[in-house]
Amino acid sequence: MTIEQNKNGSELTIRPVGRLDSVTSGDLYDCLEQNFTPEISNLVLDFSKVDFISSKGLRVLVSVCKNLGDRKMKVINANESVADIFRLSGLLKIFEGK
Protein backbone atom coordinates (compact mmCIF):
# COMPACT_ATOMS: atom_id res chain seq x y z
CA MET A 1 0.00 0.00 0.00
CA THR A 2 1.13 3.54 -0.67
CA ILE A 3 -0.22 6.68 0.91
CA GLU A 4 -0.59 9.93 -1.01
CA GLN A 5 -1.13 13.15 0.86
CA ASN A 6 -1.87 16.75 0.14
CA LYS A 7 -1.86 19.64 2.59
CA ASN A 8 -3.80 22.78 1.78
CA GLY A 9 -3.65 25.29 4.63
CA SER A 10 -5.39 23.69 7.57
CA GLU A 11 -6.83 20.87 5.47
CA LEU A 12 -5.01 17.57 5.06
CA THR A 13 -6.09 15.01 2.48
CA ILE A 14 -4.79 11.47 2.86
CA ARG A 15 -5.30 9.00 0.01
CA PRO A 16 -4.33 5.38 0.83
CA VAL A 17 -3.85 3.24 -2.24
CA GLY A 18 -4.46 -0.54 -2.05
CA ARG A 19 -5.60 -2.85 0.74
CA LEU A 20 -5.93 -1.49 4.25
CA ASP A 21 -5.20 -4.81 5.93
CA SER A 22 -3.64 -5.94 9.19
CA VAL A 23 -0.14 -5.10 7.96
CA THR A 24 -0.72 -1.85 6.06
CA SER A 25 -3.09 -0.33 8.63
CA GLY A 26 -0.02 0.40 10.75
CA ASP A 27 1.37 2.54 7.91
CA LEU A 28 -1.81 4.61 7.83
CA TYR A 29 -1.67 4.99 11.61
CA ASP A 30 1.95 6.17 11.46
CA CYS A 31 1.13 8.59 8.63
CA LEU A 32 -1.72 10.10 10.62
CA GLU A 33 0.41 10.30 13.77
CA GLN A 34 3.04 12.29 11.90
CA ASN A 35 0.83 14.51 9.77
CA PHE A 36 -2.51 15.02 11.52
CA THR A 37 -0.96 17.69 13.71
CA PRO A 38 -2.88 20.16 15.90
CA GLU A 39 -2.83 22.90 13.25
CA ILE A 40 -4.83 20.66 10.89
CA SER A 41 -8.51 21.36 11.47
CA ASN A 42 -9.94 19.35 8.56
CA LEU A 43 -8.89 15.80 7.77
CA VAL A 44 -10.12 14.25 4.53
CA LEU A 45 -9.55 10.54 3.97
CA ASP A 46 -10.01 9.79 0.28
CA PHE A 47 -10.80 6.08 -0.02
CA SER A 48 -11.24 6.07 -3.80
CA LYS A 49 -8.27 3.71 -4.15
CA VAL A 50 -8.96 1.46 -1.15
CA ASP A 51 -10.52 -1.83 -2.21
CA PHE A 52 -10.47 -3.59 1.19
CA ILE A 53 -10.48 -2.57 4.84
CA SER A 54 -9.66 -4.96 7.68
CA SER A 55 -10.70 -4.82 11.33
CA LYS A 56 -7.30 -3.26 12.12
CA GLY A 57 -7.97 -0.57 9.50
CA LEU A 58 -11.29 0.17 11.14
CA ARG A 59 -9.55 0.41 14.50
CA VAL A 60 -7.21 3.07 13.12
CA LEU A 61 -10.20 5.13 11.96
CA VAL A 62 -11.99 4.69 15.29
CA SER A 63 -8.91 5.86 17.15
CA VAL A 64 -8.72 8.96 14.92
CA CYS A 65 -12.41 9.66 15.63
CA LYS A 66 -11.78 9.41 19.35
CA ASN A 67 -9.04 12.02 19.23
CA LEU A 68 -10.69 14.55 16.96
CA GLY A 69 -11.81 16.99 19.62
CA ASP A 70 -13.19 20.02 17.77
CA ARG A 71 -11.51 19.12 14.51
CA LYS A 72 -13.38 17.70 11.52
CA MET A 73 -12.88 14.47 9.65
CA LYS A 74 -14.49 13.23 6.48
CA VAL A 75 -14.15 10.01 4.51
CA ILE A 76 -14.93 10.36 0.82
CA ASN A 77 -15.21 8.15 -2.26
CA ALA A 78 -15.37 4.84 -0.38
CA ASN A 79 -16.47 1.96 -2.59
CA GLU A 80 -19.77 0.24 -1.85
CA SER A 81 -18.39 -2.62 0.26
CA VAL A 82 -16.15 -0.36 2.36
CA ALA A 83 -18.98 2.18 2.77
CA ASP A 84 -21.24 -0.69 3.83
CA ILE A 85 -18.86 -1.60 6.66
CA PHE A 86 -18.76 2.06 7.74
CA ARG A 87 -22.55 2.16 7.64
CA LEU A 88 -23.01 -1.07 9.63
CA SER A 89 -20.47 -0.05 12.23
CA GLY A 90 -22.14 3.31 12.79
CA LEU A 91 -19.05 5.15 11.57
CA LEU A 92 -20.54 6.52 8.34
CA LYS A 93 -22.63 9.13 10.13
CA ILE A 94 -19.53 10.24 12.02
CA PHE A 95 -17.48 10.46 8.84
CA GLU A 96 -20.19 12.40 7.08
CA GLY A 97 -21.11 14.57 10.06
CA LYS A 98 -17.73 15.55 11.42
Partner 1 sequence: MKTGEKNVLTAYECGHFNQTSGTVGAPKAIPMSDMQTRTFIKYDYLWGNYLLYKNLDPSYMDGRAFATSEGTCRKLDSGLTIGCASAKMADFVQGGKDAADKRIRIAYTSPIEATCPEPHTNTKYIHTRFALMDREITGMVSGFYSVAVHLLAYIADNYEMLINDIERGTIDESIEMSDEARKSLLSKIDPMPERAAELREIFRNGSGIQFVPLVWPKLQYIKGVGSDGFSVYRDTLINSFTGNGITLFLSGITASEGLWSVPSGPNDPSGILAAGSAFMEFLPVDAEDDFSKIVTIDKLEIGKTYELVITNLSGLYRYRMGDAVLVTGMYNSTPKVEFMYRVNKTISIICEKTTETAVRQTVEKACGELGISFNDYCVYADQRSVPGQYKFYIESWDKKRGGIARDELEKSVLKHLLEANPRFRIPFEKGSILAPSVEFLQPETHFLWRDLCIYNGASTAQLKPVRVMKENEYRFFSNLTEN
Stretch that binds partner 1, among 7-15, 41-49, 58-66, 71-79 (CB under 8 A): 58-66
Rule CB under 8 A: is residue 54 a binding residue for partner 1? yes
In this structure, are residues 96 and 67 in contact, taking their beta carbons and an 8 Å threshold? no
First to last CA, the chain: 26
How many angstroms from the chain centroid is the CA of residue 18?
Answer: 13
Residue 23 within binding range of partner 1, rule CB under 8 A: no
> Is residue 7 a contact residue for partner 1 (CB under 8 A)?
no
Which CB, 56 or 71, lies closer to partner 1?
56
How far is 71 from 42, CA to CA, in rounded Å? Answer: 6
The CB-of-95 to partner 1 minimum distance in angstroms stands at 13
